[in-house]
Structure 1
């Protein structure tokens, strides 16, 4: 008797499951956008509400432990990165940014759900999306007053873009490593070649 580990690639095998997953992707993207705006505009005042959303997301998951571990594998290095950027003056916070740590947790979950299809893209494509999307998110936060910087916007962008490219490569490497440990399923042989 063998026990099959679940994978973040589960649910992408058949058309019916893909439709269900598409609904989940849209719902998760909406959840993340709602939380992003809430935390960027309200900061620590919105931590309680964003925490409830996070708890709700984890409580409805069929794989709470896996989701939680993956979320922390993204959030902990992310918080460390932001701490280093704060120490270097790239990011300056008016208060202890608990909201930012929580935002990293939400982002970690989004990597499993709404961003899941992207991890099948090429390494270069993933790095480019990270460079543009990640650094753009910080510049948006800067313009909305969630954070300030001792650096010029151009310098900040020149530093954040490669860092975020590396963040997305790190995430893809975790997903790739996980996918390499999945057992082969003969029923999926006729479903096209892997990308």
Structure 2
């Protein structure tokens, strides 16, 4: 039930961000802040890992913007995309117990496809433009997302190890 609620919440936030882009940034920001408040109350320890993944994603998309792989109508990454990275980082944290049940290469491949398709959907919904041909941009995004998923698995796996070590020393 918890996973169903988290998935529904994430999809709601994704739609607010990608369909609303600049017009609904305030709504996306409010939904993100509500999520962070919930996170602080439910599992404040997770914020360290969620923050790391968020910053990593924002750096990646900033690089993509600087190299005109992704083109936005603003000089900097839009607020709605920043919120989307926070939400994705939170959501992937919610999924971690499921993700670790499968071999990392498979999770990376599926995550690579999912992340790429999310950007493709954003492109089709006119939330972002591609600076290169669609096929070249999707190939770049796929490679990035496969690596990003491995980073996520590593970060959230290290967090579990830290928690385990903390409980053993207490």
TM-score by length of 2: 0.87
1:131 aligned residue: 112
Q: Is the 2:131–2:137 Cα contact (8 Å) retained in structure 1?
A: no
Structure showing greater radius of gyration is: 1
> Which of the two has greater helix per residue?
2
Q: How big is each residue's C-alpha offset from its partner over 1:90-133, in whole Å with a ceiling of 9 and x where there is no partner?
A: 10001241110110000011011145411332110111012100
Greater than 6 Å deviation, 4+ residue runs: none
SS of equivalent to 2:128: coil
The unaligned stretches of length 5 or more in structure 2 are none
Provide the rounded CA distance (Å) in 1 between the counterparts of 2:24 and 2:96: 24
- Normalised by the length of structure 1, the TM-score is 0.77
**Where does 1:1-195 land on structure 2 (aligned, <5 Å)?**
23-61=1-39, 62-95=41-74, 96=76, 97-114=78-95, 116-181=97-162, 182=164
CA distance 1:132–1:72, shift in 2 (3 Å): same
User: Could you give the per-residue CA deviations for residues 5-52 of structure 1, whole angstroms, max 9, x where no partner exists?
Assistant: xxxxxxxxxxxxxxxxxx111111011111111111111332222222
**Count, aligned residues:** 163
Instruction: Give the direction of change, closer, same or farther, for the CA distance of 1:152–1:127 in structure 2 (3 Å limit).
Output: same
Aligned partners of 1:71 and 1:108 also within 8 Å: yes
